[in-house]
Homo-oligomer: A and B are copies of this chain.
Amino acid sequence: MALIVQKFGGTSVANAERIFNVANRVVETYDQDNDVVVVVSAQGDTTDELIEKAKEINPRASKREMDVLLSTGEQQSMALLAMAIEKIGRPVVSLSAWQVGLMTDSNYSNSRIKRIVGNRIQAELDKHKIVVMAGFQGINKFDDVTTLGRGGSDTSAVAVASALGADLCQIYTDVRGVFTADPRIVPDAVQLNDISYDEMLELASLGANVLHNRSVEMAKKYNINLEVLSSLEKAPGTIVKEANSVEKMLVRGVARDNDIARISLVGVEDTPGKAFQIFAHLAKKKVNVDVILQSIGRDGKKDISFTVPSSQLEATRKTLDENSGMIGAEHIDINENVSKVSIVGAGMASNPGVAATMFEALYDAGININMISTSEIKVSVLIDKPYAEDAVRAIHAKFHLDAKRD
């Protein structure tokens, strides 16, 4: 008998048929003599519809009231799923964040989970009930409703798995697991049996939209075994776990990120601390600066280039404008026609030839590299967007990632 947390996203509960599909999955796990806690997101487009409703009334509504409104989506889907489980004939109870005692900070619309207080879930499990809880939502110390932002339900699942000491936290999604590359780009991409937390973190931040980083970070921190698997087909997924127990591979996967922009500050005065000042201002606006390249100074001037997510381009532009005096660039060049292609793998930390092999693959394919960024377990290159898919395929082939493995 194990305690298993299962999380189902919005597409998995989008209509009555899919809700029953989820209910059957849950009941199957329960019938195998497991305690089951289910975390659900809002149905399909519910959240978007609620946002539309709010915008019609007040586009600048407070985040507190937005959270009150949006949290109803999960409350509805948890009740509907509980009703489906009742129909199948198993004991079940649905619980909102305030009933679970899922405490967060007060950063409305993007809260962080602090802890789960109270033992309501355990009490219900002790009564042999399946517990269905609302993902994405929490409450703060003022007893106000908060929401967790993007990927919030994944984080809810990991948090409850941690609080209860669950044996496994399964994240059901619309893909079968983590692949060596996006199968839509590389048809012979292979599903990974397992992957380390760090590798998953790199892949997630590189555009492999399987798990949200916050949930992986939390799983790593509390050493929770995560499994990513499909809610539609029955097949083993990919286990995310500690590095020392995962399969050893030089490169685990190739990822591409198209939602990126390159900013070049041309002709900046070459004085100490200039780059620090610029990036400190961007950090204050919560802009995630990624690949950074700084030219060698010449005639007391230098160029600073960096990438930001497309979604943060406006905030970046605004911050740069507001600080144009301090920056003192001759001009600012913005290029949205770029992609970041990356390889990830714990094996490369002790294998310095990996980056060279990647560059060779790109050279053979006639693709020019704009910028390079490396970490212990990752190499990213910035290239022109039209070549991104070719680049992924060339690198995937070069590292023989399509090779059948045990």
Complex CA gap A19/B53 in Å reads 11
Question: What is the bound-complex CA distance between A78 and B87, given in angstroms?
Answer: 32
CA distance A80 to B94 in the complex (A): 25
* A31 proximal to B (CB < 8 A): no
What distance in Å separates the Cβ of A55 from its nearest Cβ neighbour in chain B?
9
Q: Are B50 and A65 in contact, CB atoms less than 8 angstroms apart?
A: no
Task: Tell whether A54 pairs with B72 under 8 Å between CB atoms, given A65-B94, A99-B143, A143-B99.
Answer: no
Chosen A-B contacts, 19 in total, with CB atoms closer than 8 Å, are: A16-B53, A19-B57, A20-B57, A53-B80, A54-B79, A57-B80, A58-B84, A58-B86, A61-B83, A61-B86, A62-B86, A65-B79, A68-B78, A68-B82, A69-B79, A71-B75, A72-B75, A75-B75, A96-B145
Q: Interface code A72-102, partner B: CB below 8 Å = 1, 0 otherwise?
A: 1001101110111011000001101011000
Task: Determine the distance from Cα of A58 to Cα of B86 in the docked complex, in whole angstroms.
Answer: 8
Chain B residues contacting A79 (CB-CB under 8 Å) are 54, 65-66, 68-69
Over the window 220-254 of chain A, the binary record of Cβ atoms lying under 8 Å from chain B Cβ atoms (1 yes, 0 no) is 00000000000000000000000000000000000
Query: B80, A76: Cβ atoms under 8 Å?
Result: no
Known: A68-B79, A75-B72. A87 touches B57 (CB 8 A): yes
A126 interface contact, C-beta 8 A: no
Tell me if A56 counts as interface (CB < 8 A to partner B).
yes
A54 touching B83 in the complex, CB below 8 Å, given contacts A94-B68, A143-B99, A143-B120: yes
Q: Which residues of B contact A54 (CB under 8 A)?
A: 79-80, 83
- Give, as a whole number of angstroms, the nearest-CB distance from A272 to chain B: 46
Q: Which residue of B lies closest to A93 (CB)?
A: B64
Q: Given that A75-B75, A120-B143 are known contacts, is A57 also in contact with B84, CB under 8 Å in the complex?
A: yes
- Which B residues lie within 8 Å of A84 (CB)? 57-58
Interface residue tally of chain A, by bracket?
Answer: 35 or more
Chain B residues contacting A50 (CB-CB under 8 Å) are 76
Binding site for B on A (CB under 8 A): 16, 19-20, 50, 53-54, 56-58, 60-62, 64-66, 68-69, 71-72, 75-76, 78-80, 82-84, 86-87, 93-94, 96, 98-99, 120, 143-145
Contacts of A80 in B (CB 8 A): 53-54, 57, 69
* A82 to chain B: closest residue by CB: B65
Chain B residues positioned under 8 Å from A64 (CB to CB): 93
Assuming the A-B contacts A62-B83, A78-B68, are A16 and B98 also in contact, with contact meaning beta carbons closer than 8 angstroms in the complex?
no
Q: Quote the shortest CB–CB distance from A283 to chain B (angstroms).
A: 30
Interchain residue pairs A-B with the least CB separation, the first 4: A69-B79, A61-B83, A72-B72, A58-B83
The docked-state distance in angstroms from the alpha carbon of A118 to that of B71 is: 23
A143 to B121 Cα, complex, angstroms: 12
Q: A58-B87, A69-B76, A99-B143 are in contact. List 10 more A-B contacts (CB 8 A).
A: A16-B53, A57-B87, A58-B86, A60-B87, A61-B86, A64-B93, A66-B83, A68-B79, A72-B76, A96-B145
- A65: which of B56, B61, B83 is its contact (CB, 8 Å)? B83
CB contacts (< 8 Å) of A61 on chain B: these are 83, 86-87
Contacts of A53 in B (CB 8 A): 16, 76, 80
